[in-house]
């Protein structure tokens, strides 16, 4: 009820603002990276596996796509990520040395549970879940688990569950690296420091809300939007587009920026806002030329740019500056403004933000 909402208009807004706390709780008071964070048998399992297969639906699937970048780069273990409802029905080649990772806020999604059982039926016994509900079917069915501490999420569009999943998945990448002797003490210490600072860093991004609201007013009259990201921010672009679709009913698509010229450029006109995630990373110069391609065709760019990217506002290029560059954990910070943009656009359009039409919080039937 209203009392629970405090100063917020919707649960979704409240849950967006709870993220510093949710991430801090998910990290608990971890003092060192060890496989045991994922369960008693984790060390043995992590030693044995030679690849990772991630299965999930919806927003949780996008957390999985982000995790692929982390696990391959930090732990050097090959990763596949599949939509649960596809995996369960296709002929695949099982590998008994796979670590099967399910990601689920509710732990009750029918397709994800069925995909897990399908994998087990194919002889894959090493199972782990990243899940927000400790008492769920998913946690009971998996050998290993990491429980995210987002707390109850009421808004149908997932927000704090996603960023806590990412936090847990980053820990998984580190723990796998450790089991495979890929994690130096220096790297471990640096990573823990960056993780512990996350709640404060997220707080600084939340403070951008007034600037994002001004953008949202302009988005409210649009019928389409394009989201661009590259590398580990491409899945964040997908999540940003999903948020906007789910709650504002604006059609939105995400593309890896390098793929623009293979189709989406044909859609770019003055009527097409192009949201761009611009972290300061190795791909920045390439991203800038992708932005130029949009700009040259009259597209309006809305850029979330890290402070040191030297991307400035000009005619047709709107920039909101992110407070800091956050290295490998940057996808978590870049998620926040996209949540706020979707939220305020939906508010401006007057949709039922917490209960979007035709959608359910947890899809427990196929």
Instruction: Look at residue 71 and give its three-state secondary structure.
Output: helix
Among 59, 178, 276, 339, binds ligand G6P (CB under 6 A): 59
Q: Which is nearer to ligand G6P, 80 or 362 (CB)?
A: 362
**Alpha carbons 337 and 213: distance in angstroms, whole number:** 10
Helix, strand, coil percentages in the chain from 3-state DSSP, rounded to 5: 50, 15, 30
Integer-rounded Cα radius of gyration of the chain? 20
List 180, 245, 328, 361, catalytic entry: 361
**Alpha carbons 116 and 75: distance in angstroms, whole number:** 23
Q: Scanning residues 102 to 161, which ones bind ligand G6P (CB under 6 A)?
A: 104-106, 109, 112, 156-158
Only segment of 34-42, 53-61, 277-285, 297-305 that touches ligand G6P (CB under 6 A): 53-61
Strands (E), the chain: 51-56, 79-83, 98-104, 127-131, 144-147, 224-229, 251-256, 273-278, 300-306, 317-322
Site size toward ligand G6P (CB under 6 A) is 16
Q: Which is nearer to ligand G6P, 221 or 364 (CB)?
A: 364
Output the smallest distance, CB 108 to ligand G6P, in A: 7
DSSP string, 26-51: HHTT--S--GGGG-TTHHHHHHH-SE
Among 13, 60, 85, 309, binds ligand G6P (CB under 6 A): 60
Output the smallest distance, CB 336 to ligand G6P, in A: 17
Output the smallest distance, CB 354 to ligand G6P, in A: 11
Among 21, 196, 349, 361, binds ligand G6P (CB under 6 A): 361
Q: Is 361 a known active-site residue?
A: yes
Reported residue count of the chain is: 366
Residue 181 CA to chain centroid, in angstroms? Answer: 27
By the 10 Å C-beta count (0-12 exposed, 13-18 middle, 19+ buried), 119 is classed as buried
Binding status of residue 192 toward ligand G6P by CB under 6 A: no
Among 5, 200, 266, 359, binds ligand G6P (CB under 6 A): 359
Among 161, 157, 165, 166, residue whose Cα is nearest residue 361:
157
Name 262's Cβ contacts closer than 8 Å, sequence gap at least 6: none
Output the smallest distance, CB 2 to ligand G6P, in A: 24
Q: Which is nearer to ligand G6P, 114 or 284 (CB)?
A: 114
Q: Scanning residues 200 to 259, which ones bind ligand G6P (CB under 6 A)?
A: none
Which residues have a catalytic role annotated? 361
Q: Would you tell me which residues interact with ligand G6P (CB under 6 A)?
A: 57-60, 104-106, 109, 112, 156-158, 359, 361-363
């Amino acid at each position: 009820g209203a009392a629970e909402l405090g100063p917020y208009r919707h649960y979704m807004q409240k849950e967006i603002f709870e993220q510093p706390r949710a991430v801090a709780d998910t990290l608990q008071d971890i003092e060192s990276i060890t496989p045991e964070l994922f369960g008693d048998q984790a060390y043995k399992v992590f030693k044995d596996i030679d690849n990772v297969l991630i299965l999930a639906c919806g927003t949780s699937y996008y957390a999985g796509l982000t995790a692929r970048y982390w696990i391959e780069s930090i732990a050097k273990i090959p990763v596949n990520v599949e939509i649960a409802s596809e995996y369960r029905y296709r002929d695949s080649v099982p590998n008994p040395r796979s670590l099967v990772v399910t990601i689920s806020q509710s732990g009750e999604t029918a397709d994800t549970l069925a995909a897990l059982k399908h994998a087990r039926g194919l002889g894959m016994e090493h199972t782990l879940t990243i899940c927000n509900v400790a008492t769920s079917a998913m946690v009971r069915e998996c050998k290993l688990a990491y429980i995210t501490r987002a707390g109850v999420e009421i808004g149908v569009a997932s927000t704090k569950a996603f960023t806590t999943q990412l936090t847990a998945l980053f820990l998984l990448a580190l723990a796998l690296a450790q089991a495979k002797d890929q994690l130096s003490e220096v790297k471990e210490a640096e990573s823990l420091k960056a993780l512990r600072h996350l709640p404060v860093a997220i707080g600084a991004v939340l403070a951008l809300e007034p600037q994002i609201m001004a953008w949202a007013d302009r988005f409210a009259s649009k019928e389409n939007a394009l989201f661009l990201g590259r590398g580990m921010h491409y899945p964040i672009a997908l999540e940003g587009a999903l948020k906007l679709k789910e709650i504002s009913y604006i059609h939105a698509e995400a593309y890896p920026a390098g793929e623009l010229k293979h189709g989406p450029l044909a859609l770019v006109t003055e009527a097409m806002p192009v949201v761009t995630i611009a972290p300061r990373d190795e791909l920045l110069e390439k991203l800038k030329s992708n932005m130029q391609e949009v700009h040259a065709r009259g597209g309006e760019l809305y850029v979330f740019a890290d402070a040191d990217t030297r991307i400035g506002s000009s005619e047709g290029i709107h920039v909101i500056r992110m407070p800091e560059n956050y290295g490998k954990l940057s996808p978590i910070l870049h998620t926040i403004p996209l949540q706020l943009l979707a939220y305020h656009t939906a508010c401006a359009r007057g949709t039922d933000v917490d209960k979007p039409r035709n959608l359910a919080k947890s899809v427990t039937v196929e």
